[in-house]
Amino acid sequence: MHHQLQEKISTRSLRVAVIGLGYVGLPLAITFAEAGFQVEGIDVDKQKVDQANRGESYIPDISSSTLQALIQKNRLHFSSDYAVLDEIDAISICVPTPLRKTRDPDISYIVSVTHEVQSHLHAGQLIVLESTTYPGTTNEVLLPVLQSTGLKVGVDFFLAFSPERIDPGNPDFGTQNTPKIVGGITQTCTELAHAFYEAAIKKVIPLSSARVAEMAKLLENTFRAVNIGLVNEIAIICDKLGINVWEVIEAAATKPFGFMPFFPGPGLGGHCIPVDPHYLSWKLKTLDYTARFIELAAEINSSMPHYVVDKIGQALNEQRRCFNGATILVLGVAYKRNVGDVRESPSLDIIQELIERKAVVLYNDEYVSSLQLLGRTLYSQTLSSGLLQAADCTVIVTDHSYYDIPWIIREARSIVDTRNSTQGYRDEKVLLL
Asked whether residue 95 is domain-assigned, the answer is yes
- Full 3-state SS string of 96-146: CCCECCCCCECCHHHHHHHHHHHHCCCCCCEEEECCCCCCCHHHHHHHHHH
The answer as to whether 68 is a domain residue is yes
Q: For residue 334, tell me if it sits in a domain.
A: yes
What is the per-residue pLDDT for 100?
82
Cα(51)–Cα(302) distance, rounded to whole angstroms? Answer: 36
How many C-beta neighbours within 10 Å does residue 401 have?
6
Looking at 207, 235, 255, the residue that finishes a domain is 207
Residue 215 lies in a domain: no
Q: What's the average model confidence in pLDDT over 128-155?
A: 97
List 94, 238, 272, 393, catalytic entry: 272
Handedness of CA 127, 131, 136, 137 (dihedral sign): negative
pTM above the 0.95 mark?
Answer: no
pLDDT above 90 as % of the chain: 89
State the helix-helix crossing angle for 210-241 and 276-285, rounded to 10 degrees: 110
* Same domain, yes or no: 323 and 187: no
69 is a domain residue? yes
- pLDDT the model gives residue 321: 94
| pLDDT tens-digit map of 4-42 | 999 999 999 999 999 999 999 999 999 999 999 999 999
- Domain identity same for 174 and 287: no
Q: What confidence score (pLDDT) does residue 433 get?
A: 84
Are 336 and 416 members of one domain?
A: yes
The half-sphere exposure of 16 on its side-chain side, counting CA atoms within 13 A, is 30
Say what the pLDDT of residue 194 is. Answer: 98
Among left, alpha and beta (phi > 0; psi -120 to 50; other), residue 207 is: beta
Query: What's residue 153's pLDDT?
Result: 97
- What confidence score (pLDDT) does residue 429 get? 85
Residue 427 has pLDDT above 80, yes or no: no
Q: Residue 292 pLDDT > 80, yes or no?
A: yes
Q: Are residues 128 and 241 in the same domain?
A: no
Within 13 Å and on the Cβ side, how many CA atoms surround 365? 30
Q: What is the predicted pLDDT for the residue at 104?
A: 84
In a domain, 396, yes or no: yes
Count of domains observed in the chain:
2
Which of 279 and 144 is assigned the larger pLDDT?
A: 144
Tell me, yes or no, whether 187 lies in a domain. yes
Of 154, 173, 207, the residue that ends a domain is 207
Judge if 200 and 293 occupy the same domain.
Answer: no
78, 151: one domain = yes
Q: What is the model's pLDDT at position 417?
A: 96
Q: What is the pLDDT of residues 166-206, one digit of tens each?
A: 888 888 999 999 999 999 999 999 999 999 999 999 999 99
Do 260 and 344 share a domain, yes or no?
yes
Assess whether pLDDT exceeds 80 at residue 103: no
Average pLDDT over the chain, rounded to an integer = 95
Question: Do 252 and 139 share a structural domain?
Answer: no
> Other CB atoms closer than 10 Å to residue 255's CB: what's the count?
10
24: CB partners within 8 A, 6+ apart: 94, 130, 164, 166
Range of the domain at 404: 225-432
pLDDT for 2 equals: 83
Q: Residue 353: CA atoms inside 13 Å, Cβ hemisphere, count?
A: 16
Is the pLDDT at 268 greater than 90? The verdict is no
Q: How many CA atoms lie within 13 A of 318 on its CB side?
A: 15
Quick one: angle between helices 2-11 and 187-198, nearest 10? Answer: 10
Instruction: Report the DSSP pairing between strands 158-161 and 370-373.
Output: unpaired
pLDDT at residue 97 in the model = 92
Is 272 one of the annotated active-site residues of the chain?
Answer: yes
Q: What are phi and psi of 85, to 5 degrees?
A: -65, -15
Q: How confident is the model at residue 375 (pLDDT cuts 50, 70, 90)?
A: confident
CATH number at residue 64: 3.40.50.720
Do 203 and 326 belong to one domain?
A: no
One domain, residues 240 and 172:
no
* pLDDT at site 320: 93
140 and 35 in a common domain: yes
| pLDDT at residue 74, rounded to an integer | 94
Per-residue pLDDT at 60: 85
367 in a structural domain: yes
Q: Tell whether 159 and 263 lie within a shared domain.
A: no
Contacts (Cβ under 8 Å, ≥6 apart) of 58: 26, 48, 51, 52
More confident residue, 99 or 49: 49
